Amino acid sequence: MIWHSEGGGPWGTGPRGGGPWGGGGRGNGPSGPRGPQPPNFEEILRRGQDSFRRLLPGGFGFGTGAGVAFIVLAIIVLWLASGFYRILPDEVGVVLRFGAYNRTTQPGLNYHLPAPIETVLKPSVTRINRTEIGFRSAGEEVRAGTSRDLPQEALMLTGDENIVDINFTVFWLIKDAQAYLFDIRNPEGTVKSAAESAMREIVGETPIAQALAEGRGKIEADTQHLLQGILDAYGAGIQVTQVQLAKVDPPAPVIESFRDVQRALADKEKLRNEAESYRNDIVPRARGDAARIKQEAEAYLAEIVARSTGDADRFTAVYQAYKVAQDVTIQRLYIETMEEILKNSNKIIIDKAAEGQSGVLPYLPLPNLLNAAPPTAAPPAGTATGASPVPPPANGSAQPSTGRRP
């Protein structure tokens, strides 16, 4: 070093020096001071004044009153200027005066009394914060799509005394910066503990089948409502925007067995639905057929009863008419009966009294004879036969058929 060759540097004059606080090396002799000596503050201050004086403009002496006033004024201006601050659009400014809340400022350029009189905190009130319960995902785990499970947070007891593994995320933001900063000590921990408590309460009232299937939306909504009530009771100044279930499964050691049970229950429900569908198809059809048969039987009954009643009434009416005029009634009944019997007959009956009257001409129905079947072969000679057929008359005319009225 330079003081080794020149006699100790700026703090010593001996040939060997001895350091900045003493000249008591082995070259000082027994009469020299021993040990470290305190620094010469006057020399240090003088050297600093000389250096600062060289930085000042000409005409300002460090020892003069004008120089001191300039320095003091510059320090005051810098101190007052330190009170300007800027609030970003997603922030609000919470100004503290001697550590106590004073006011809230909006985004933009603002001013507060310089420290230590006033200080400002700038919480973000529009950023959506997330709190994970039952798992943790951060850094490389988020990019890889993986997470670390925490069973002590995720395992919960359901309403039917089953255990379910639930991972969920709470999204929240700051709605009251003053309450958020001063009414709760650990906002993240408060949200996490309140959310876990609310979820355990809701899941404890829900059966596991509902929690694993269609009840997830209801669990999210009920948990969000309950969590918001807890945070409002704490005066946390936090608004819960969403509770999102990430995973709802049975515990890992029994998940395969549980899935087998669920598949069996699904098959059971499927077969039951098929049976009910078949029943719903057969039973209404059988009921319809039974109603139709019953209606047909009732209609037949009404028809028979009405017909029998009508026949009885007709017979009674005929009998009453017969009692009044027996001859006329017997004649009318005879004529009606003969009309009913002979109306479809091909025979022509001529009264014997009309045979000799003019205008009645017997005739032979030749078209009917032509359309008749051919005669059968004649039996061999000597075979007994019935009455021989009567030959037709020589003049070709047929004998008139006669009949008598009984």
What six digits make up the tokens of 193? Answer: 């503990």
170 has pLDDT over 90: yes
Give the separation between CA 366 and CA 7, rounded to whole angstroms: 182
pLDDT digits (tens, 9 = 90+) for 107-135: 888 888 888 888 888 888 888 999 999 88
What DSSP line would sit under 157-198, residue for residue? E-TTS-EEEEEEEEEEEES-HHHHHHT-S-HHHHHHHHHHHH
More confident residue, 232 or 254: 232
- pLDDT reported for residue 385: 45
For residue 3, is pLDDT > 60?
Answer: no
Mean of pLDDT over the chain: 77
Query: pLDDT at position 19, please?
Result: 46
Q: Is the pLDDT of residue 32 over 50?
A: no
Res 69: pLDDT = 79
Predicted local confidence at residue 80, as pLDDT: 84
Instruction: Pick the range with the lowest mean pLDDT from 6-10, 204-208, 245-249.
Output: 6-10
Q: What percent of the chain has pLDDT over 90?
A: 26
The per-residue pLDDT for range 270-302, each reduced to its tens digit, is: 999 999 999 999 999 999 999 999 999 999 999
Which of 235, 98, 109, 130 minimizes the C-alpha distance to 176? Answer: 235
Q: Which of the residue ranges 4-18, 29-43, 193-207, 276-290 would you say has the lowest mean pLDDT?
A: 4-18
Does residue 191 or residue 374 have the better pLDDT?
191
- More confident site: 40 or 216: 216
| Distance (Å, whole) CA 406 – CA 400 | 19
What's the CA angle centered on 392, arms 390 and 395, to 5 degrees?
A: 150
Per the model's pLDDT, the better-predicted residue between 147 and 318 turns out to be 318
- Is residue 403 pLDDT above 60, yes or no? no
Work out the burial of residue 12: count CB atoms within 10 Å of its CB; fewer than 13 is exposed, 13-18 middle, 19 or more buried.
Answer: buried
Residue 277: the pLDDT is 92
Structure tokens at 112: 């507060």
Q: What is the DSSP letter of 357?
A: S
| Cα dihedral 39, 45, 47, 50 in deg (nearest 10) | 180
- Contact assessment for residue 164 and residue 176, using Cβ atoms and an 8 Å cutoff: no
Q: CA 153 to CA 134: how far, in whole Å?
A: 5
Mean pLDDT of 212-233: 91
**E strand or H helix that includes residue 2:** helix 2-6
CB 217 within 8 A of CB 244: no
